[in-house]
Amino acid sequence: MISKIVFFGDSITAASKDQHPPLGNGYVAMLKDLFASDSDLNQIKFMNAGISGHTIDDLLRRYKTDILPHQPDAIVIKIGINDARKDSSSARDRDRVKHYETGLQHLIITLQNDLPGVQLFLFTPYYISDSTSDPLYCIMGEYCGVVKALADKFAIPVLDTQAVFDAAVKMKPAREWAPDQIHPEREGHMLIARAAFPFLKGHLIKGDSQ
């Protein structure tokens, strides 16, 4: 069984970890509690390497200091909303999605090279919207497509968190899950954690048995 898993991302991953160290008060901490209740997973150490406002470029700049020294056995990468928000500015850079794709692919290859045997997992970014015609929601579809394509290319398990919230808005409006449609309330973080728990458990145990 793996001994340490790092969650690498932006503010959704960080979830106020400065005020609630070391794991924050979002899906990472909730997922840790779910792991703690499972006899197969309760010895795994968690590390939250999320930082508010970060993009794929920021992750590439800091992986050597924030990931490599900890020598994790598994890494969950969840990044993209800040890249997509830049993409939705008044003068959209048509190369932005490609830049994100190139950066995420470089991060994957680098981590695999620098941490031989590490298990990588990808979580798609998301935007919580009641309308599939919302411009940012449409742009987010492109970013999610990039993550899924790279997951397929490198045989990395991927969790579609956009699909999690697409289902959630059928139960109640987007702004009740997240006032800004990005940063979830506690219930929204729990949705991510509950989707991530069986996803990670299945792959981690399968990986150990191979």
Q: What is the CATH number of the domain that holds 49?
A: 3.40.50.1110
- What integer pLDDT is reported at residue 93 of this predicted model? 59
When mean pLDDT is compared across 71-80, 81-90, 130-139, 141-150, the lowest value belongs to 81-90
How far apart CA 103 and CA 106 sit, in angstroms, is 5
Whether the per-residue pLDDT at 45 is higher than 60: the answer is yes
| Nearest Cα residue to 154 out of 53, 59, 50, 77 | 77
If you count DSSP H runs as helices and E runs as strands, how many of each does the chain have, helices first? Answer: 9, 5
Give me the domain span that covers residue 184: 4-209
Confidence of residue 104 (pLDDT cuts 50, 70, 90): very high
- What integer pLDDT is reported at residue 206 of this predicted model? 67
How large is the angle between the packed helices 96-114 and 135-153, nearest 10 degrees? Answer: 30
What are the distances in angstroms from CA 87 to CA 48, 94, 98, 156, 200?
26, 8, 11, 26, 30
| Nearest Cα residue to 192 out of 5, 81, 34 | 34
Query: Which three-class secondary structure state does DSSP give residue 4?
Result: strand
Confidence of residue 88 (pLDDT cuts 50, 70, 90): low
What does DSSP say about strands 158-159 and 74-78: parallel, antiparallel, or unpaired? unpaired
How far apart CA 74 and CA 203 sit, in angstroms, is 11
- What integer pLDDT is reported at residue 205 of this predicted model? 73
Confidence of residue 94 (pLDDT cuts 50, 70, 90): low
Q: Which residues pair with 8 in a beta bridge?
A: 49, 77
User: Total domain count for the chain?
Assistant: 1
Q: Which two tokens stand for residue 74?
A: 């598994």
Q: Is the peptide bond before 22 cis (omega within 30 degrees of 0)?
A: yes
- What integer pLDDT is reported at residue 207 of this predicted model? 56
Confidence of residue 75 (pLDDT cuts 50, 70, 90): very high
Confidence of residue 192 (pLDDT cuts 50, 70, 90): very high
Average pLDDT score, the chain: 94
